[in-house]
Amino acid sequence: MTERPTILITDDDEAILQLLTTALGHDYEILQARDGDEAVKIHGEREGVDLVLLDLGMGRMSGYDALASMQMDDPDLRVIVITGLDPDAARLPNVRQIITKPFRVDQVREAVAQELK
């Protein structure tokens, strides 16, 4: 059996975390982080994160800061930003796609499948 790709979903909105986990959990191994600090910690402790879905506007540590920290350890990290902020602000290194909130679940599924093919 082939190992499923691992996705780290990072969002401070519990409803979005659960929605994306449900939508993607059948095909991918899902890790959840509720803020940037937790995302950096999980990414550092867990090898083989294939893709990060990242909200930019979070408390404690923003998505911007979390991305910068994770990229220091993993310069080839693949990221899809899901944000309610100005999407042009998300033009950061390794950001493959930007999905604006509100989003459709099928948008996220398609973006993830495209990045992990």
Domains, the chain: 6-103 (3.40.50.2300)
Q: How many CB atoms lie within 10 A of CB 24?
A: 21
- Specify the pTM: 0.92
What pLDDT is recorded for position 31?
A: 98
Encode pLDDT of 42-94 as tens digits.
999 998 999 999 998 887 888 889 999 999 999 999 999 998 876 665 567 77
Indicate the range of 10-14, 52-56, 93-97 predicted with least confidence: 93-97
Mean pLDDT of all residues in 108-116: 97
Per-residue exposure over 51-71, b if at least 16 CB sit within 10 Å of its own CB, e if not? bbbbbbebeebbbbbbbebbb
How many degrees, rounded to 5, is the angle at CA 39 between CA 34 and CA 42?
Answer: 115
What pLDDT is recorded for position 94?
A: 78
Contacts of 101 by beta carbon, 8 Å cutoff, 6+ apart: 16, 82, 83, 84
Specify the DSSP class assigned to residue 27: T
